[in-house]
Amino acid sequence: MSIISTDISKAVTILSNDELVAIPTETVYGLAGNIFSEKAIKRIFETKKRPFFNPLIVHIPSVELLPTIVRYIPEKAQLLADAFWPGPVTLVLPKNSNIPDLITAGKDTVAVRIPNHPVALELLNALNFPLAAPSANPFGSISPTTAQHVNDYFKNDIKMVLEGGPCERGIESTIIGFNGDEPIIYRLGSTSIEAIEAIVGPIEIKNKKEIAPDAPGMLDRHYAPKTETILVDNLSEAIKNHSDKRIGILAINTSSEHEAIAFQIILSEATDLQEAASKLYDALHQLDKQDLDLIIAERFPDVGLGKSINDRLQRATVKA
Ligand code: AMP
Ligand code: MG
């Protein structure tokens, strides 16, 4: 049975009834609920098995609504909003008193963005409340980039997945907080550090070990297949070292030949990082279905979106 539908008015009805709808965005599919409905927000945490200390991102349809969510907008936040919205940049700003504690995990700040997806924007414009929409996957598992991925996870838990096609960007938004008026990157994502620095100048990254960790165990397991996954610089060497196993390969741009390889995916023959990012999670979903002993992923060049892709792959390798 499928709960996938293109019916936006049906989504409006369900959401207005304090229930959840999975929605398309340009980054990944989100599990959406009315930010002002305690029932809906609790259901988001329950459905995802997400811990309550992990705050949610508020999605709005236009920048004019930002002052209804936050009480202060630093100059550089305004510059970033003007440059990237609608788009995959999330701003963490001092919250208005009407924003429920459940959304912010009790913090005094709230994360907010405008998604760049026509279906999401049409839906948000048809509602008279913003949506909280964390990725529509069980906590820690691979994020969904198609309606089918969400259907596979949650067909028994929610009423509807709003169909919006495969996500064009394919990894989560870049999250930017502020120390006073100075921006700080909290999470790498679909908007590259370089693109952000072109707008606001050199920017601090809060947790450098999250980007280039000395030991993968220092990271939170997240975005992770069930199959054991490793991230390597040298594919052919890794294949040789694991030739006694049934291997799956996630390669940047070239195919490998070895009898131990049962399945392989090339993310971008043209080495286009945006193409690779958009295909990343679907590739992990496919690899995870092949009954492999091991997934070997090739590390990307550490520039632009390559940094964000490596961040996700790194977290996918952390053992459960
Ligand atoms: P997700 O919605 O699953 O893409 O994840 C939302 C992420 O946004 C959380 O895991 C936090 O890292 C971040 N976030 C949301 N709200 C805040 C906040 N008020 N302060 C800091 N980080 C936040
Ligand atoms: Mg998530």
- The ranges assigned to domains in the chain are 4-205, 229-316
Determine the atom of ligand 1 nearest the C-alpha atom of 57.
Answer: 2
pLDDT tens digit string along 274-285? 999 999 999 999
Predicted local distance difference test score (pLDDT) of residue 67? 97
**Would the pLDDT of 164 be above 80?**
yes
Q: Which residue, 64, 161, 151, is CA-closest to 119?
A: 161
The pick from 89, 92, 173 for probing ligand 1's pocket by mutation, whose C-beta has the most ligand atoms within 8 angstroms, reads 92
| 139 within ligand 1 shell (Cβ under 6 A) | no
**Topology of the domain covering 4-205:** DHBP synthase (3.90.870)
- Nearest CA to 296 out of 221, 219, 242 is that of 242
Across the chain, mean pLDDT equals 95
Atom of ligand 1 nearest to the CA of 110: 19
Give residue 208's pLDDT band: very low, low, confident or very high (50, 70, 90). low
- For domain 229-316, the CATH class is alpha beta
Cα dihedral 86→90→91→95 (10° resolution): 100
pTM (2 d.p.): 0.95
Listed residues: CB within 5 A of ion ligand 2: 135
**Beta-sheet strands, E only, within the chain:** 4-5, 21-23, 30-34, 57-59, 89-94, 109-113, 131-132, 160-162, 174-179, 182-187, 204-205, 229-232, 247-251, 261-266, 294-298
pLDDT of residue 216 exceeding 70, the answer is no
Model pLDDT for residues 221-243, shown as the tens digit of each residue: 889 999 999 999 999 999 999 99
CB of 50 sitting under 6 A from ligand 1: no
Q: Hey, do 4-205 and 229-316 end up sharing a CATH topology, with the first three levels equal?
A: no
pLDDT of residue 211: 47
Question: What is the number of the ligand closest to the CA of 90?
Answer: 1
Residue nearest to atom 1 of ligand 1 (CA): 134
Q: Is 179 in the pocket of ligand 1 (CB under 6 A)?
A: no
